[in-house]
Chains A and B, each alone.
Chain A
Amino acid sequence: MTLNHRSVAITITSGKGGVGKSTTVASAGLGLAQLGYRVCLVDTDIGLRKLDLMLGLENRIVYDLVDVVEGQCKIRQALVRHKEYPELALLPAAQTRYKEEVVPQQMEQLIHELRKEFDYILIDSPAGIEGGFRNAIVAADRAIIVVNPEIPSVRDSDRVIGLLESANIGQIDLVINRVQSDMIKDGDMLSVERVQNHLAINLLGIVPEDKRIIRSSNTGEPVILDDKSMAGKAYANIARRLSGHDVPFLELESDTLISKIKRLFHIA
């Protein structure tokens, strides 16, 4: 299905590693494809690719991003289509090359070409704020910051927001990942409100901590396909918000009888 939609390039970034950027890209991208959009996921983490594993496409890679920018192949040859959702394509990062082998001008040209074929281009940024990060943001219209509710992650995200603002990225949204409502209730985790107040950007999604994400990484099926996963539901909502729908945030409270008793006796 081809929708009448201007192509949008969105960089998913964080500064700090391990906060769930690639998980967010895989599930939000699949969510947009489920909604009927043509979606390309671009893995810019050259040397440390992982989107292929998260989508279960690792065995189908022939060419990669570096091959494309070096002119070794056409973009179409390097794109790997998802088996169940052919509207979703992956442009994998090279695994045995270095980030320095791609420069921002090449990325700009690449994204320009991808815009002709896709409604959404989700660019998975590497951790850090060095060359790989600059490549990931150079052609972005929007950015999504993925943050965990803890000080090191929020501080790094704040630094990245400053860099994105300097680069004149039009819209910057926030996804707060690995939220644990019981820890917030006990005063041991920064609340969603506090994180959002500190970073002062638009909240796009709240994703609860979910053990099923590990299962999803192991199986190569993005968590959005897991009906039992709360995180999967949160990512489905994020995809819908990205496409302009007004979707309420998930209620994350899990106030069971046991948790109430634990709190009563101060053992939670």
Chain B
Amino acid sequence: MTFLNMFGSKEEPTATKADDRLSLVLSYQRSDIDERKLKFFQARLIELCDEFDFDVVGQVTIIPQSKERTTIINASIPVRKKENG
């Protein structure tokens, strides 16, 4: 049975996950990100969407990432154009 298991699917490599986690923890560490400020930033983005005639139609996510000692803030905002816009 052990022998047969050898042909089974291999476990997912962990280094890719580690790389993503590392990118996230370094971003937080380098920018000294304040979670409250990040939520405020998220709220302002939603307000901006409204100003520009977009309805936010899903979960807004703000993910800081780190690349070569620079922090990149990735914002994912699912929107739809306002019908009366």
Contacts and interface: CB of A to CB of B under 8 A. Distances in A.
Interface in B32-77: 66-69
Interface in B1-38: 6-10, 12-16, 18-19, 21-23, 25-26, 29-30
A191 to B, nearest CB: 7
A154 B24 CA distance: 12
Contact of A265 (B7, B18, B21): B7
A155 interface: yes
B26 A188 contact: no
Interface stretch (A49-57, A68-76, A193-201, A236-244): A193-201
Interface residues of B, number: 23
Contacts of A197: 67-68
A250 interface: no
Contacts of A186: 13
B21 A151 contact: yes
A59 B68 CA distance: 46
A184 B29 contact: no
Contact of B26 (A155, A184, A266): A155
B7 A151 contact: no
B30 A158 contact: yes
A184 B15 CA distance: 8
B66 to A, nearest CB: 7
Contacts of B8: 266
A154 B10 CA distance: 27
Contacts of A191: 15
B27 to A, nearest CB: 10
B14 A200 contact: no
B63 to A, nearest CB: 16
A198 B66 contact: yes
Interface of A: 150-151, 154-155, 158-159, 162, 184, 186-191, 194, 197-200, 265-267
Given A187-B14, A266-B9, 19 more contacts: A151-B21, A159-B29, A184-B15, A186-B13, A187-B15, A188-B15, A190-B15, A190-B18, A190-B22, A191-B15, A194-B19, A197-B68, A198-B26, A198-B68, A199-B69, A200-B68, A200-B69, A265-B7, A266-B7
30 contacts: A151-B18, A151-B21, A154-B22, A154-B26, A155-B22, A155-B26, A155-B29, A158-B29, A158-B30, A159-B29, A162-B30, A184-B15, A186-B13, A187-B12, A187-B13, A187-B14, A187-B16, A190-B18, A190-B19, A194-B15, A194-B22, A197-B67, A197-B68, A198-B23, A198-B26, A198-B68, A265-B6, A265-B7, A266-B9, A267-B6
- 5 closest A-B pairs (Cβ-Cβ)? A187-B13, A266-B10, A200-B68, A200-B69, A265-B6
